[in-house]
Structure 1
Amino acid sequence: MATTADLISALGAEHLLVLAALPADPEFCPAPLQSLVLIGPEGGAAWWELVTASPEWQDGAPDPIDRWSKRILDGIAARFGGMALYPSDGPPYPPFFRWAQDSGALWQSPVGMLVHADAGLWVSFRGALALPFTVTIPATTNPCLSCAEQPCLSACPVAALSKAKGYDIAACHAHLDRPAGADCLSEGCRARRACPASQSHARLAQQSAYHMSRFHT
């Protein structure tokens, strides 16, 4: 019988992490699937270097990271007798945000984005695995509860991020169109970078620049 340790080992070989685990959602995970595991990349350089060396990145076709994620997670799902789910599946689209909050391992931050005890505001999901065995991970605590200064709230130059008011997408894009937005385009969102919990999970500048280029097109 497969175990949580086996799964973590298989994901770790691809520089992926278990960000959260919760009971399978019957709307998306038919029996006998028992667990739903939300998967994200490791921080640092290793995951980005792996992806950019992959066939999906090298072939010049669109959406290389999504295609890499599907190849890898589909393979791991098959190995463990489960199935993979992706944010782009649908309609109906899998409710990753709700799953994340229901898991008790991710929370809505003061700026509205999800926050994770280890990844901070650098949370991103490559997909989810629905598996026919129970997956358990150590309990964690919302890092925002012990963050007295909450620098994420003042980091955005145009105050585009707010839990109360939502995400002002127009203000964000307008800032990125100006010279003052060059730093955000090349290094990534300032609010995400300011989060103290994000520091150990920091991304390479090249990775942030790529994602920002896809976002701001």
Structure 2
Amino acid sequence: MVRTRDLARELAGHGLIPRGGFNFADGEDAPPGPSGAPAQAVLLVGQAGAAPWLHFLKWREAQPPGLENPLDTWSREVIGAVAGRFGARAVFPSERPYLPFQQWAMRAEKLRPSPLGILMHPEYGLWHAYRGALLFDHELDLPDPGAPAHLCDACAEKPCLASCPVDAHSAAGFDHAGCLEYVRSAKGRACASRGCLDRNACPHGAAYRYPAEMQAFHMRAFTGN
């Protein structure tokens, strides 16, 4: 039986943490586990704040220049190695066919989306991510996280919907094309260098806010620059 504290110790060496999980119900359409049969359990793996950033940068120094999707590659390498040591199958949000990571995360940690679409965490705010998941051929003994307070419910002013110069986030959804055009323009240099203004306007989880360098990295990935 996998002991989650041992798995957590392995992940901590890379700045990663277990992000909750659950056992699939009988008859549920679960993806294949390591044996090829439908998995019995899933454990999400991710980050709180910028904890993996320095680990990633150190790894990247040893990689060839121009490596495409370096953060995804690092995640596959690190989480894949942990999966091998614990008899699991590693899967990732960027892989096709896409797996329902957002739904898994809401089920595992009982989080709800913010107005920006990012799941709101009661401690980390919007400054967290899911980098992969581990599928097992057996059930896991996982605690029930309970239902955390959804911080957006008590936020009347919604600064996350009032800070973007082009109103990219609204009740109608995310204006991907408008955001991309602005961030790529000369006017969008602040967004490109310091990250999404709407996301940064959220007051929750400030202690976990990504540093500017990390936010700029993600913006470059978003714009393709």
Q: Could you give the per-residue CA deviations for residues 37-85 of structure 1, whole angstroms, max 9, x where no partner exists? A: 22222313x4211101105763222222111111111111122211111
| Aligned partner (choices 160, 168, 171) of residue 168 of structure 2 | 160
Distance apart, 1:15 and its partner CA: 0.5
Report the aligned-residue RMSD. Answer: 2.3
* Separation in structure 1 between the aligned mates of residue 202 and residue 46 of structure 2, nearest angstrom: 18
Aligned length: 214
Distance apart, 1:154 and its partner CA: 1.1
Q: Secondary structure at the match of 1:38?
A: strand
User: Does structure 2 conserve the Cα–Cα contact (< 8 Å) formed by 1:33 and 1:82?
Assistant: no
Q: Kindly, what percent of the aligned residue pairs are identical?
A: 36
* Residue of structure 1 equivalent to 2:151: 143
* Residue of structure 2 equivalent to 1:126: 131
* Separation in structure 2 between the aligned mates of residue 57 and residue 107 of structure 1, nearest angstrom: 38
* Separation in structure 2 between the aligned mates of residue 193 and residue 18 of structure 1, nearest angstrom: 25
Deviates more, 1:144-153 or 1:132-141: 132-141
| Aligned partner (choices 199, 202, 207) of residue 206 of structure 2 | 199
The two structures have a TM-score, normalised by structure 2, of 0.84
Find out whether 1:213 has 2:220 as its counterpart.
Answer: yes
User: Does structure 2 conserve the Cα–Cα contact (< 8 Å) formed by 1:151 and 1:191?
Assistant: yes
* Residue of structure 1 equivalent to 2:75: 69
Where do 1:23-62 residues align within 5 Å? 23-24=23-24, 26-30=29-33, 33-44=39-50, 46-55=51-60, 58-60=63-65, 61-62=67-68
* Separation in structure 2 between the aligned mates of residue 137 and residue 8 of structure 1, nearest angstrom: 17
Deviates more, 1:127-136 or 1:22-31: 22-31
When residues 142 and 22 of structure 1 are mapped into structure 2, their CA distance, relative to the original with a 3 A threshold, is farther
